[in-house]
Chains A and B, each alone.
Chain A
Amino acid sequence: MWEQGTEMKPFLSNRRIFPRRWLQAAVLAVAVILFMGAGDDTARFKDLGHRMMCTCGCGQVLLECNHVGCQASEKMRNQLLAALDKGGSNSDDLILQGFVQEYGPTVIAAPTATGFNRVAWIMPFLVLALGIAFAVHIVRSWKNCPEPALADGIIIRPGSELDEFRQKARKETDL
C-alpha cells in the first residue's frame, strides 16, 4: 500500500525506470542461469567422474584416483571438464560415449543398461526374487504337510492358548 498523500506512480508509466528494471532483471536472470549452469556442471562433473574409472591401472574411480602425478586421471579430468564446457548439446551419454571410444569400454565403472550388459543388472534381482519365491514355497509346503498322527489321549490346544504357554515357557527357560 502507498502512504496517503503520496502520488501514485504506476510502474509502467515511468519510462526511465522501466528499461532499467528490465535490464536488472535480465542481468539477474542471466546470472542465475549462469550460476545454475555452473552448479549443474560441478554436479555433472562429480557424477560423471564417479561413473568412470581411471585408466592408469590403479583400479580406482576417476575422481578418487589419488596417485601423485597420475598422468591418466589428470588428462581424463581435463577432457571431462572440456566436454562439459561445450554446453547442453553434449549430453552425459554422449560424453561417456566419447570416453569409451578413446579408452575402450572398461573406462565405464559399471555395465551399461544395453545388450548383454543388462544381464549384469537383472541377475541379482532375479536370484533374489526366485530365492524369496522358493523360500515362501518351502515354508508353505512344510506348513501344509499333514501333522504326524498323535497317540491317544493327547489333546491339541488352539493356537491362542498355546501362545500363552509359549510366552510362559520363553520367560522361564530363555531368560
Chain B
Amino acid sequence: MSTIGSFALIAALALSGYCFLAGLLALLFSKHPASAAIGETARRAGIATFAAVLLAGIVLVVAAFNNDFSIAYIFHHSNRDLPAAYKFAVLWSGQEGSLLFWSLLLAGYGFVLRLRYKTDQRLFAYASVIIAAVQVFFLLILNCAAYPFATMQGALPQDGAGLNPLLQYPEMVIHPPLLYLGYVGFTVPFAFALGALIMKYPGEKWIHITRRWTMVTWCFLTIGVFLGAHWAYAVLGWGGYWGWDPVENASLMPWLTGTAFLHSVMMQEKRGMLKVWNMSLIFATFLLSMLGTFLTRSGVISSVHAFAQSSIGAWFLVFIVLTLGVCTFFLVANRSYLKSEHKLESLVSRESSFLFNNLLLLVVCFTILWGTFFPILSEFVQGHKVTVGPPFFNRVAVPVALLLLLLTAVGPLLAWRKTSLESLKRNFLFPAVGSLAIGVMMIVFGVRPWEDPSFFYATMAAVLSALVIFTVISEFLRGGRVIAGKSHQNLLSAMIHLCHRNTRRYGGYIVHFGVALVVIGILGTPFNKEVEREMGFGDEISIGPYTLVCQSYTQDDNPNYANEWAIINVFRGGKQITTMYPERRFYKASQQPQTLPRIYPSFREDFFLVSDLYLVYEGRNETTGQPIIKAHVNPLVPWIWIGLIVMVFGTIVALVPNAAAVQIAATTPVRVPAHVGAGD
C-alpha cells in the first residue's frame, strides 16, 4: 500500500515540476512556434498532478480503513476501534497527512482552473504556472521532509496509538477541510493577481475572473474559522469559544486581509482605484495563509493546536521569503501599470469608507500578528519570553473592532464619489435613533457601562450592532418600497426582487447583518456566570434562572472508550425543561481523558436574549466518588452561530448572478377609433 502512495507522490512531484517548467518556458518564449504545444502539455501535466495527489490521498485513507499499521502515520493517528467517520479525519489529523490534504486541495483548485482555461488562455497560463510553483513546494516537503508513507521498523504493532480524543468530534470531520479550502483557495486569486501583474494585463479582468473564487474561498475560511470556534466551545469544555491561541490567530489574519480585499476590490472595479493596494492585499492574504501554516508546524510559537516541532518550519520560511521577494519585485518593477484612474473626491464617500474599513481591518490584523510574534521579539530583546494572551488582544483589538463596526453601519449609507450631508442625515436618522434606543434600554435594564470597561464595550457593541442591523433593514425597505411602488408587488416580494437585481450589494448587506449578529453573540461575555460543585444524588445547583438537580451518575464502556456521565435535570421557574448528560471519556488507545460538555440553548424560553446552559463533567471526587459539575450560563452565544449561517447565506446570495432589470409595463392610453365596435 505504501509503495503505491510513494509512487503517486513522486509522480505528482514530477508532473507538477513539468507543469511549472514547461509552462514557464512556453510563457517566456511565447513567440516560438512550439510554445503553444509545450504550454498545452504543461496544462495537461497540471491536470494529471491532481490525479496523482488524489491517488496518494486515497491510499492513505484506505490504509486507515484497513488498519494498515505498517504505515507509521496510520499507526500514530488511528486504531482498530476508531469509528469510520473519524478514519477520514486521520488524513488531516497529523502533520504529514494534513500537508498531503493541503496539496490535494491545491491540486483540485488547479484542476478546475486548468479545465476552464479557455476563458482567457494567457492569463490562465500564468496562473497555472504560479499554482504549479506552489504545488511543487508542497510536494517537495511531502517527498523530502514530511513523508506520509514512511513504514514502521521492526515487528508490526497489533493496534494503533489512536486519534487524538480532541479530534473525535463530528465537527472535526468538516472543520479542517473547510479551513484548508479557505487557506488553499486564496492561492487562486493570488496566482491570477501575480500573473496579471507580471504580464501587465490591461483592465480589471483578473478581478472579474477571481471574484467568485475569492468569495467562495472567503466563505470557506469563514465557516472554517467559526467551526473551529464552535469546536473549541463544544469540546474543550472551558466555556469559551475563542482563546486568542496563535493557531486561532493564524486563521483569523488571512480572513481579515481577505475581507479587506473583498471590499477594496470594488473600488478598483467601479472606479479603477487602489490597484497597488489590492495587489498588496491579495499577496498579504496568501502570505498570511502560509505564515499560519508555518506557525502551526514550526514550533516557533507554543500553541495547544500546534503540531510537533519539526524541520519543515525552515522550508516554509524560505518559501515565504522567496514569495515575498517575487511579489515585491514585480510590484515595484510594474508599478506604472497600476496607476489609479480616478482620485477620491470627498472624505464623506463610499470610497473613503472602504479606505478606512481597509485600514481598520489591517490594524486588527497587525495587532494580532504583533501579539502573536511579540513573545519572540521579547525573547530577542529582553532575553526572556512574555505571554501575550487574551487580556492583551481583548484590550487592544476590541476598540478597533468597534470602530470597524461603526464603519460597517455607516459605509452602505454613503454614495460613491460624494455624499451630501442632507442625504446622510436622512438615511441615518432611523438607524441612529433605533440603535440609541437599544443603548438606553440596556441601561434601563441594569447594564452600567460606566462601572466596568467590559460593560462599556458590551453596550457600545450592542448599540453599533443595532446600528448595522437597522441600516441594513432601512436599505432593504427603501429599495423595496421603490420597486413595490413601480411594480405593484408586495413589499416582501419587492425586496426579494431588489436583492436579485443586485445580488452582490444586497448579499453583502446580509453578510453585514450576520456580522452584527455575531457581535451580539460575543457581547454577552461580560455577563457570563459559572458555578462549580460536587453533586451527589439529589444535590442542587442554582445558576441564573436555572436549578440543576443531579438525578444520577453512571458509567459505560465500549471498544473505543470508557465513559462516565451525570444525569442532570434542569428546572426553570419550578418546571423541568430538559435533562442534560455531561460526560467524561477515557480513550483506550491513546490513554487520554476527554470531557464532553453538554449545551442547552434557551431558545424556547427567551428567544432574543437566548443563553446557553453549559455543563461540564469535570471529574470525580476520589474520596466520595461523586461527580464534580461545572455549570456556565453564557448569554447570547447562540447568536454567534446564527450569525455565521446568515453570513454564509449572504455570501451565497452575493454569488448568484444578477437578474435582468425588472420590466415594468407602463400603461399607455390608446385612442380607439370610433367606428371599431365591440366584437369586431
Q: Does B366 contact A (CB under 8 A)?
A: yes
Closest chain-A Cβ to B566's Cβ sits at a distance in Å of: 14
In the assembled complex, 12 residue pairs joining A and B whose CB atoms fall closer than 8 Å, in A order, are A50-B391, A60-B304, A69-B619, A109-B391, A110-B390, A120-B388, A127-B363, A128-B400, A135-B356, A142-B343, A145-B343, A175-B502
Instruction: Determine the residue in chain B with the shortest Cβ distance to A121.
Output: B396
Closest chain-A Cβ to B64's Cβ sits at a distance in Å of: 28
Closest chain-A Cβ to B271's Cβ sits at a distance in Å of: 12
A123 CA to B378 CA in the complex, in Å?
Answer: 14
Q: Does A68 contact B (CB under 8 A)?
A: yes
Q: Which residues of A contact B386 (CB under 8 A)?
A: 105-106, 108, 111-112, 117, 120
Closest chain-A Cβ to B307's Cβ sits at a distance in Å of: 15
Our pick among B378, B396, B593, B619 for the contact of A116 (Cβ within 8 Å) is B378
A104 CA to B383 CA in the complex, in Å?
Answer: 12
Interface string of A58-98 (1 = CB under 8 A from B): 11110011101100000000000000000000000000000
How many residue pairs link A and B with beta carbons under 8 A? The number is 146
Q: Are B388 and A111 in contact (CB under 8 A)?
A: yes
Known: A58-B304, A64-B238, A162-B418. 14 other contacts (CB 8 A): A53-B387, A59-B245, A59-B303, A66-B239, A66-B616, A111-B374, A111-B386, A116-B381, A120-B371, A138-B344, A159-B420, A163-B420, A166-B417, A175-B479
Q: Does A167 contact B (CB under 8 A)?
A: yes
Q: A66-B237, A110-B395, A128-B400 are in contact. Are A61 and B389 (CB under 8 A)?
A: yes
* Shortest 5 CB-CB contacts between residues of A and residues of B: A142-B343, A109-B389, A110-B392, A110-B391, A124-B367
Q: Does B362 contact A (CB under 8 A)?
A: yes
Please give the number of chain A residues whose Cβ is less than 8 angstroms from any Cβ of chain B in the complex.
Answer: 52
Q: Are A111 and B378 in contact (CB under 8 A)?
A: yes
Our pick among A120, A124, A139 for the contact of B363 (Cβ within 8 Å) is A124
Q: Are A131 and B238 in contact (CB under 8 A)?
A: no
Q: Are B388 and A110 in contact (CB under 8 A)?
A: yes
Instruction: Determine the residue in chain A with the shortest Cβ distance to B385.
Output: A106
Q: Does A171 contact B (CB under 8 A)?
A: yes
Q: Which residues of B contact A125 (CB under 8 A)?
A: 396
Closest chain-B Cβ to A166's Cβ sits at a distance in Å of: 6
Among B443-469, those with CB < 8 Å from A are: none
Q: Does A152 contact B (CB under 8 A)?
A: no
Q: How large is the interface on B (under 10, 10 to 19, 20 to 34, 35 or more residues)?
A: 35 or more
Q: Does A9 contact B (CB under 8 A)?
A: no
A159 CA to B390 CA in the complex, in Å?
Answer: 49
A117 CA to B584 CA in the complex, in Å?
Answer: 40
Our pick among A53, A131, A170 for the contact of B362 (Cβ within 8 Å) is A131
Interface string of B338-353 (1 = CB under 8 A from A): 0000011111000010
Q: Which residues of A contact B313 (CB under 8 A)?
A: none
Closest chain-B Cβ to A62's Cβ sits at a distance in Å of: 10
Our pick among B344, B362, B391, B595 for the contact of A51 (Cβ within 8 Å) is B391
Among B500-543, those with CB < 8 Å from A are: 501-502, 505
Q: Are B240 and A139 in contact (CB under 8 A)?
A: no
Instruction: Determine the residue in chain A with the shortest Cβ distance to B403.
Output: A128
Instruction: Determine the residue in chain A with the shortest Cβ distance to B356.
Output: A135
Q: Does B68 contact A (CB under 8 A)?
A: no
Interface string of A29-62 (1 = CB under 8 A from B): 0000000000000000000001101000111110
Q: Which residues of A contact B304 (CB under 8 A)?
A: 58-60
Q: Does B302 contact A (CB under 8 A)?
A: yes
Q: A135-B356, A175-B482 are in contact. Are A160 and B420 (CB under 8 A)?
A: yes
Closest chain-A Cβ to B116's Cβ sits at a distance in Å of: 31
Q: Which residues of A contact B388 (CB under 8 A)?
A: 110-111, 120
Closest chain-A Cβ to B543's Cβ sits at a distance in Å of: 15
Q: Are B392 and A111 in contact (CB under 8 A)?
A: yes
Q: Are A110 and B237 in contact (CB under 8 A)?
A: no
A121 CA to B355 CA in the complex, in Å?
Answer: 25
Q: Are B370 and A143 in contact (CB under 8 A)?
A: no
Q: Are B395 and A128 in contact (CB under 8 A)?
A: no
A163 CA to B424 CA in the complex, in Å?
Answer: 12
Our pick among B359, B384, B391, B501 for the contact of A131 (Cβ within 8 Å) is B359
Among B62-81, those with CB < 8 Å from A are: none
Q: Does A132 contact B (CB under 8 A)?
A: yes
Our pick among A58, A117, A131 for the contact of B378 (Cβ within 8 Å) is A117
Closest chain-B Cβ to A76's Cβ sits at a distance in Å of: 14
Q: Which residues of A contact B384 (CB under 8 A)?
A: 104-106
Instruction: Determine the residue in chain B with the shortest Cβ distance to A139.
Output: B344
Q: Does A174 contact B (CB under 8 A)?
A: yes
Q: A68-B584, A175-B482 are in contact. Are A132 and B238 (CB under 8 A)?
A: no
Closest chain-A Cβ to B477's Cβ sits at a distance in Å of: 12
Q: Which residues of A contact B370 (CB under 8 A)?
A: 120, 123-124
A162 CA to B423 CA in the complex, in Å?
Answer: 13
A6 CA to B370 CA in the complex, in Å?
Answer: 78
Q: Are B387 and A109 in contact (CB under 8 A)?
A: yes
A160 CA to B370 CA in the complex, in Å?
Answer: 46
Q: Which residues of B contact A142 (CB under 8 A)?
A: 343-345
Q: Does B227 contact A (CB under 8 A)?
A: no
Q: Does A115 contact B (CB under 8 A)?
A: yes
A121 CA to B422 CA in the complex, in Å?
Answer: 40
Interface string of B362-383 (1 = CB under 8 A from A): 1100110011001000100110
Q: A65-B238, A66-B630, A68-B618 are in contact. Are A59 and B243 (CB under 8 A)?
A: yes
Q: Are B618 and A166 in contact (CB under 8 A)?
A: no
Instruction: Determine the residue in chain B with the shortest Cβ distance to A167.
Output: B423
Q: Which residues of A contact B479 (CB under 8 A)?
A: 175
A94 CA to B140 CA in the complex, in Å?
Answer: 53
Q: Are B366 and A127 in contact (CB under 8 A)?
A: yes
Which among B243, B245, B343, B366 has the highest number of chain A CB atoms within 10 Å? B343
Q: Which residues of A contact B397 (CB under 8 A)?
A: 124
A69 CA to B584 CA in the complex, in Å?
Answer: 13
Q: Which residues of B contact A57 (CB under 8 A)?
A: 302
A58 CA to B245 CA in the complex, in Å?
Answer: 10
Q: A105-B386, A116-B378, A175-B482 are in contact. Are A60 and B363 (CB under 8 A)?
A: no
Our pick among B385, B415, B498 for the contact of A105 (Cβ within 8 Å) is B385
A51 CA to B238 CA in the complex, in Å?
Answer: 16
Q: Which residues of A contact B343 (CB under 8 A)?
A: 142-143, 145
Q: Which residues of A contact B355 (CB under 8 A)?
A: 135, 138-139
Q: Does B19 contact A (CB under 8 A)?
A: no
Q: Which residues of A contact B344 (CB under 8 A)?
A: 138-139, 142-143
Closest chain-A Cβ to B339's Cβ sits at a distance in Å of: 13
Q: Which residues of A contact B568 (CB under 8 A)?
A: none
Closest chain-A Cβ to B615's Cβ sits at a distance in Å of: 12
Q: A53-B389, A68-B593, A166-B417 are in contact. Are A128 and B618 (CB under 8 A)?
A: no
Among B236-255, those with CB < 8 Å from A are: 236-240, 243, 245
Q: Which residues of A contact B505 (CB under 8 A)?
A: 174
Closest chain-B Cβ to A126's Cβ sits at a distance in Å of: 10
